[in-house]
Amino acid sequence: MNGYHIITPLTRFSNIPELLSLLGKNKVHWHFIIDDVLPYEVSAKPEFDWVHFYRFPHREKAEGIDPCLVRLNWWLELGLLIDDDRYIFLNDDDGFEPFFFEKIRAQEGHVLVCSMARGHRTPLGVEPHRAHGTHSLIAAKENMVPCRVSLEQIIISGKVLKTFRFSELYGGDGEFIKAITEANDTVYMPDTFTWFNYLEPNRWDKYT
Comparing C-alpha atoms, which of 62, 149, 155, 140 is closest to residue 100? 155
What percent of the chain shows pLDDT beyond 70? 91
**Residue 141 in this model has a pLDDT that exceeds 90:** yes
Q: What is the per-residue pLDDT for 8?
A: 96
Q: What is the per-residue pLDDT for 87?
A: 98
Q: What is the per-residue pLDDT for 208?
A: 41
Q: To which H or E segment does residue 51 belong?
A: strand 51-56
Q: What is the per-residue pLDDT for 22?
A: 81
Q: What is the pLDDT of residues 164-198, one digit of tens each?
A: 999 999 999 999 999 999 999 999 999 999 999 99
Q: What is the per-residue pLDDT for 42?
A: 60
Q: Which residue has the higher pLDDT, 101 or 60?
A: 101
What are the structural domains of the chain? Answer: 4-207 (3.90.550.10)
Q: What is the pLDDT of residues 190-208, one digit of tens each?
A: 999 999 999 988 899 975 4
Q: What is the pLDDT of residues 96-115, one digit of tens each?
A: 999 999 999 999 999 999 99
Q: What is the per-residue pLDDT for 21?
A: 84
DSSP characters for 98-135? Answer: TTHHHHHHT--SSEEEEEEE--S-PPTT--GGG-----
Q: What is the pTM of this model?
A: 0.93
**Residue 41 in this model has a pLDDT that exceeds 80:** no
Beta bridge pairs of residue 189: 114
Range with the lowest mean pLDDT among 43-52, 136-145, 148-157? 43-52
Q: What is the per-residue pLDDT for 186?
A: 98
Q: What CA–CA distance (Å, rounded) separates 98 from 136? A: 17
Q: What is the per-residue pLDDT for 89?
A: 98
Cβ neighbors of 93 (< 8 A, separation 6 or more) are 12, 15, 197, 198, 199, 200
Q: What is the per-residue pLDDT for 23?
A: 79
Identify the band that residue 157 occupies on the pLDDT scale cut at 50, 70 and 90: very high
